[in-house]
Chain A
Amino acid sequence: MNSSQLFGITTLLYLLASVAYIAFFIFRSRPAAQVGLGLTILGILVQTAGLGLRWHESYQLGMGHAPLTNMYESLLFFAWCAAIFYVLLEIKFKLPVIGAFVMPIPFLTLAYTSIAKDISKEISPLIPALQSNWLIAHVITCFIGYGAFAVAAGLGIMYLLKHFADKIKLSQESMISSLPDLRTLDDLIHKTIIFGFLWLSAGIITGAVWANEAWGTYWQWDPKETWSIITWFVYAFTLHARFTRGWNGSRIAWLSVLGFVSVFFTYFGVNYLLAGLHSYGAS
């Protein structure tokens, strides 16, 4: 058994969990939701074992570093964060229908890692710039934030679906009506964004401290840094927009989706489309 087999099993479990949650959303069958939660938790456990094993494998290869050092490993970690964040959300707010919109995110992420040709799965040694304790602090804080923002975007899509269904007066019998009511969703979006914003801020700060240790400058407007601050501006905008009149729930829902687009670009777009210091994240 090696770590990539475990990640394969995880992918399957997240797929089945997504199917179960979607079944719950469509047929409103309670047991489907329970199966979904069980599969998700099992998937998280298997993935945790896989991450631990990959860490162990890196020691066996004589490199010994946490599995947080390239695009493949960061995607694994992102999927793990998003799944854990979702489970905590379900335990606290008891709204399994959210799983139908959120659990496909970790599934698609893992599926992408196994299909994409340009993502190296090899455990490679760390180049000197990455040999720092700030690496772990930086990656963990950023990805907890990204995981939360992914969930917020899923909630935003639910909000918009419900909002438009209400507008065209879809019948009460449709599956849309099994979505939580708009006020609950709005509150959840806000809480999730707050949580993500705190971690994104911590992620930008740990990155700045690390850059200062490695390169002697905590901020130099490199494209990755700039996109992270753009994302920060977008969510700061979202949080302040709630205070002013006229910015009702659906605008915030759109912003939660827009914010995640910005996260996505910070994470992928910069690595693949723009040149910069984070180029090692692309391999």
Chain B
Amino acid sequence: MAAKTKNPVWTFLASVQLALLLLGVLASTSIIGTIIQQNKPDEHYVKTWGPGAAKVIQVLDLDDMYNSGWFLFLLGAFSLNLTVCSMDRLPGVIRVVRKDNLVDAPEQLLKRKLQHRAQVSGSVKEGAQQAAAWLAGKGWKTASRSKEGGLLLFAQKGAWTRYGVYAVHLSILIILLGAIIGSPTVAKKILNKPQFAFKGGVLLPEQRSTNRIFSYDEEDQSIPLGFTVRCNFFDIDFYDNGMPKDYVSGLTILEGEEEILTKEIEVNKPLKYKGVTFYQSSYNDLRRPVIRLKNVSTGERTMLPFTTNATSTWQNGTAQGMLKILDVREVPGGAEFDIWFMDPQGPPSTFTVNYNKPVIVERPAANYELKISTQYATGLQVSKDPGVWWVYGGCILMLLGLCVAFFMSHRKIWAYAHEEDGQTTVVFIGHANKNSLDFAKTFARLTEDFGGKQG
């Protein structure tokens, strides 16, 4: 190592001891927030933990500890430790990767444990050529240099794998950077641009549209989307046992009056537009009836307001027609409706439908499912996270880095051809920085048949 003395602060920040301390502190303090429920109203803490403990919880921000100053400080210290530690060690690693391994003195190499000795006929030069050809035949391309008393050959593989662990360290920094880029708090308080990154939601009644959503942090604060989103319908499908199977919302994105994009979203199937993602998250029953029409073969849906005294016109995809509610009767557990229904082909249909029970209306042009049921509002979670690709990129880098750091190694082979007691001798020397047992086997397979005789 270089003789220059390092700044003690730098040495401390670069130390593995600090890394161990921070990992230990992060692991143990993180437990607190899993026991004390986070982001509850103040009364919750007084009721659960008592007034004294509630005060401690407030003072130490334990009700929102993962966003608290002290926890962010720990994460910051962790990042600093990672950065300094990597910067401290990388120059040395680069030196090792770029090292000219032919400068090594053969006497030193011959002291290493992993070696194989073989005697060959011919001159030292011929022996070296033989060894070079042998190694090249097995995929190890050698360079050579004359040494006092012999010729030294060297080949290596996977020198770059020494960077694997630093790729893992870098990946953690990239993930944390992505988290900062995508943080609503940073967007609001530092960039002063809440629409840059946000997490919020909106409760949107069927057939209504909005161009603003509400931030989760401050619910009275609305964030402009820059476009309009409309809820065409909301629906719940159930399994036979009554468990909910799907929550579906039909959404349309509009720029001004122009319809840009229409998509049905479900839990796990969000809609993305201009960096903003709409997730199905909840729903609300508005407790007023509406008429729902669905084309059985295309699945296209239409919703009409419920009126008893007028004929309504409907449009479903390209098809259109009219319908009218002729009569409403109260029946046990609900209501039933007489309906008059028509479209351009064939005579009008009249039929009876029960509240919340769909009927199939068979028309020459298409079959429709008609249902009279309550109007819903769909609960959408709406978020914009410009940092997410940094996070994903960091995650991929982390997995690749872990594979390299754990399972790949820097392997070196030297071959030293020289004369021993009047006999040309080639000594192979091997070294791997990791998994040396596995490499010893590879090394044995590589060298054992060379020259025939064992030395």
Segment of A9-17, A28-36, A68-76, A222-230 in the binding face = A222-230
Contact of A128 among B199, B241, B266 (CB under 8 A): B266
Instruction: Give Cα A129–Cα B270 distance, bound, in whole angstroms.
Output: 12
How far is B383's CA from A219's CA once the two chains are assembled, in angstroms?
13
Closest CB in chain A relative to B204 CB, distance in Å: 16
Query: Which residue from A128, A216, A243 sits with its C-beta under 8 Å from B16?
Result: A243
For residue B312, CB closer than 8 A to chain A, the reply is: no
CB neighbours of A208 from chain B (8 A): 391, 395
With A and B bound together, what is the CA distance between A168 and B118 in angstroms? 47
Is A94 an interface residue when CB atoms closer than 8 A count as contact? Answer: no
Other-chain contact of A216, B19, B246, B277, B398 (Cβ < 8 Å): B277
Closest Cβ–Cβ distance, residue A34 to chain B (whole Å): 25
B9 at the interface (CB under 8 A from A): no
Check if B266 sits within 8 Å of A198, measured CB to CB.
Answer: no
With A128-B245, A209-B392, A244-B17 given, is the CB distance from A229 to B268 under 8 Å?
no
B320 / chain A contacts, CB cutoff of 8 Å: none
A128 touches B246 (CB 8 A): yes
**Residues from 24 to 63 in A contacting B, C-beta threshold 8 Å:** 62-63
Q: How far is the CB of A79 from chain B (nearest CB, A)?
A: 26
B26-34, B323-331, B351-359 - interface stretch: B26-34
Pair A241/B268 contact, Cβ less than 8 Å? no
Contact A127 to B277, CB < 8 A, known contacts A198-B403, A213-B270, A218-B391: no
| Residue among A198, A219, A262 facing the most chain B CB atoms (10 A cut-off) | A198
Stretch among A107-115, A155-163, A169-177, A231-239 lining the B interface? A231-239
Contact: B20 with A201, CB < 8 Å? Answer: no
Instruction: Determine if B199 and A216 form an interchain contact, defined as CB atoms under 8 angstroms apart.
Output: yes
CB-defined interface of B321-361 with A at 8 Å, one 1/0 digit per residue? Answer: 00000000000000000000000000000000000000000
Neighbour of B267 across the interface among A205, A214, A234, CB < 8 A? A214
Contact string, A110-136, partner B, CB cutoff 8 A, digits 1/0?
000000000000001101110110100
Measured CB to CB, the nearest residue on chain A to B267 is A128
Interface residue? A275 (CB, 8 A): yes
Q: Do B199 and A217 touch (CB < 8 A)?
A: yes
Q: A15: shortest Cβ distance to chain B, in Å?
A: 34
Structural contact, B267 and A216, CB atoms closer than 8 A: no
Q: Determine which of A128, A205, A240 lies in contact with B19 in the assembled complex, contact meaning CB atoms within 8 Å.
A: A240
Chain B residues, CB < 8 A from A202: 399
B270 to chain A, nearest CB (A): 7
> Does B49 have its Cβ within 8 Å of any Cβ on chain A?
no
Instruction: Tell me if B34 and A226 are in contact (CB < 8 A).
Output: yes
A241 to B18, CA, bound (A): 11
Quote the shortest CB–CB distance from A246 to chain B (angstroms).
10
CA distance A109 to B406 in the complex (A): 30
User: Is the CB of B214 closer than 8 A to any CB of chain A?
Assistant: no
Given the complex of chains A and B, what is the CA–CA distance between A63 and B243 in angstroms?
12
Closest to B238 in A: A125
Whole-angstrom CA separation of A127 from B34 in the bound complex: 25
**A233→B27 contact, CB < 8 A:** yes
Q: Is B77 an interface residue (CB 8 A)?
A: no
In the assembly, what is the distance between CA of A134 and CA of B406, in Å? 25
B224 within 8 A of A: no
Q: How far is the CA of A125 from the CA of B246 in the complex (A)?
A: 11
CB-contact partner of A240 in B20, B239, B266, B270, under 8 A: B20
B399 A233 Cβ-Cβ under 8 A = no
Please tell me if the beta carbons of B279 and A201 are within 8 angstroms of each other in the complex: no
Contact A237 B23 (CB under 8 A): yes
- Chain B 84-106, CB within 8 Å of chain A: the 1/0 string? 00000000000000000000000
Known: A217-B383, A226-B30, A274-B34. A125 touches B239 (CB 8 A): yes
- Would you call B406 and A198 a contact (CB within 8 A)? yes
What are 25 of the A-B contact pairs (CB < 8 Å)?
A124-B243, A125-B243, A194-B406, A197-B402, A198-B402, A198-B406, A201-B399, A208-B391, A209-B395, A214-B268, A214-B279, A215-B279, A216-B381, A218-B391, A226-B33, A226-B66, A229-B30, A233-B23, A233-B30, A234-B23, A240-B19, A240-B20, A243-B16, A274-B34, A275-B37
Q: A128-B245, A205-B398, A208-B395 are in contact. List 16 more A-B contacts (CB 8 A).
A: A63-B239, A125-B241, A127-B243, A128-B247, A194-B406, A195-B406, A197-B406, A201-B402, A213-B270, A214-B268, A215-B279, A216-B279, A233-B27, A233-B30, A244-B20, A274-B35
Which A residues are within 8 Å of any B CB, using their own CB?
Answer: 62-63, 124-125, 127-129, 131-132, 134, 194-195, 197-198, 201-202, 205, 208-209, 212-219, 221, 223, 226-227, 229-230, 233-234, 236-237, 240-241, 243-244, 262, 270, 274-275
Q: Which 3 A-B pairs have the closest CB atoms?
A: A233-B27, A128-B267, A223-B34
